[in-house]
Structure 1
């Protein structure tokens, strides 16, 4: 009996330890996390209609040209677009002379390097060049926008919502989270992940003058540049949709033929 007492006590403590650990782990897993300002006040992107939405949607070149103008005149001061070559702009309906002029007049020039002398220099951009990156002197660099709509959930709607979502910090937020006041130099935007970002609202009504006469409201500019950045991330979107419908048609026809062949082969089986 005495010999059994020691092992039984050890077994008891082992079971108690395992139960305590398991119960603690269960509570840690199942107990909801404490609410944070980001969770309570962060907003899902707005619902917005684009011409390329849906299975039959396609890009509107006129809108893409307006979006490129917004990028060029507003966004390109800080954000790069280094995955796009100037010659790709021909897909938006720009002529060859227009593409050459856009490349030559671009504010950031192509960098050159003389291997013999070791001297660095600059030259005018050519249509074959990619849009040169922005060299930013501040702390950190704003993100390259080439693939931004692929890198963010609901990318097109996210870009539109972010650009139109600047607002004063809600009093309710500060009431619940007094320490969550937007820091000096940052700007409150409920569509940004942590609610505060360094970029001030970049768009203003009439900030650009559209060549086609479209009224350049903040909403219109945001929608146009969001469409343009969707094109930079997915320039073959239209062709991919066309190919998809062709493939579906082929599969449907092949299915019908396979069914008819099966009926013919097994017609006299019974």
Structure 2
């Protein structure tokens, strides 16, 4: 008795599934979804390459230091790096003395407690501290940014599809709204408080162009700081903040593949030797 009931229940489930599939397909064909400005004008990230790309990729330390400089002088005014400590910057090629100086001279001091009064206080940063956020809390961040909350950038390259390419495209993608968009979607005009960028999901974002002109940052290594160069450098830096162990992971992967290759060859030779004298 149980088997027929189970069979009928399964048959009913299949029928409902097929019915839903057919009715959904008919509805889609007869009344296709209306086109939106986001669907028509949103662009995929630009083609850009980084030294860390691919299974053998390695970070360019000079580029990472330039990217950190762009973050420090431009991005850190609004965006935090909650997952990065000052001491982690040694991986970029900074010396211990340089890391100590960076932590001590950071624009925002580290939240602390006054040991004498127990009241909240601030102090100079040390290498052991995480890079402090530019705002005390979310309320202060929204108040300073027209109610928009600047996201933390620590894992941004992992949180967005195409990672570094997306960040680079967003930073270099600000432009005026195309006339074609306003012609077909007059209601999609970018509000005065927002900025048009076709690489952003809904085309409009609250962040004004952070890299507004060439020479905005004076690189310590003498590299010409064009908008394109600064965007590439800070994108590479944010790839590192999201995957600081990328080089070690690549090296481990190559070692494991080499081990598996040698083990496969040894296993094959052992097989040939063991079964050599046995005829089928």
Gaps of 5+ in 2: 1-17, 136-140
Aligned equivalent of 1:214: 223
**In 2, distance between residues paired with 1:94 and 1:193?**
36
Which of 129, 150, 156 is matched with 2:158 structurally? Answer: 150
1:173–1:251 CA distance, 2 compared to 1 (3 A): same
**In 1, distance between residues paired with 2:168 and 2:255?**
32
**In 2, distance between residues paired with 1:77 and 1:195?**
23
1:194–1:261 CA distance, 2 compared to 1 (3 A): same
| TM-fit CA distance, 1:140 | 3.8
Aligned equivalent of 2:193: 185
Q: Residues 66-215 of structure 1: matches in 2 within 5 Å?
A: 66-114=66-114, 117-135=117-135, 136=141, 137-138=143-144, 139-203=147-211, 204-215=213-224
1:22–1:77 CA distance, 2 compared to 1 (3 A): closer
| TM-fit CA distance, 1:20 | 9.5
Which of 240, 243, 249 is matched with 1:240 structurally? Answer: 249
Q: Residues 253-268 of structure 1: matches in 2 within 5 Å?
A: 253-268=262-277
Tell me if 1:54 matches 2:62. no
1:96–1:167 CA distance, 2 compared to 1 (3 A): same
**In 2, distance between residues paired with 1:111 and 1:123?**
7
TM-score, normalization: structure 2?
A: 0.86
1:225–1:200 CA distance, 2 compared to 1 (3 A): same
**In 2, distance between residues paired with 1:86 and 1:79?**
16
| TM-fit CA distance, 1:115 | 7.1
| TM-fit CA distance, 1:248 | 0.4
Residue 200 of structure 2 aligns to a residue in which SS? coil
| TM-fit CA distance, 1:33 | 2.2
Residue 264 of structure 2 aligns to a residue in which SS? helix
**In 2, distance between residues paired with 1:258 and 1:32?**
57
**In 1, distance between residues paired with 2:187 and 2:246?**
45
Residue 111 of structure 1 aligns to a residue in which SS? strand
Which runs of at least 4 in structure 1 moved beyond 6 Å after TM superposition?
A: 19-22
Aligned equivalent of 1:28: 27
Residue 122 of structure 2 aligns to a residue in which SS? strand
**In 2, distance between residues paired with 1:141 and 1:115?**
32
Residue 35 of structure 1 aligns to a residue in which SS? coil
**In 2, distance between residues paired with 1:63 and 1:199?**
24
**In 2, distance between residues paired with 1:142 and 1:212?**
29
- Provide the aligned length of Structure 1 versus Structure 2: 252
Asked if the contact 2:70–2:234 (Cα under 8 Å) also holds between the matched residues in 1, the reply is yes
Which of 222, 227, 234 is matched with 1:225 structurally? Answer: 234
With 221-230 and 139-148 compared, the bigger mean Cα shift is at 139-148
TM-score, normalization: structure 1?
A: 0.89
**In 1, distance between residues paired with 2:269 and 2:34?**
61
The alignment yields a C-alpha RMSD, in angstroms, of 1.8
1:22–1:220 CA distance, 2 compared to 1 (3 A): closer
Query: Which one has a bigger Cα radius of gyration?
Result: 1
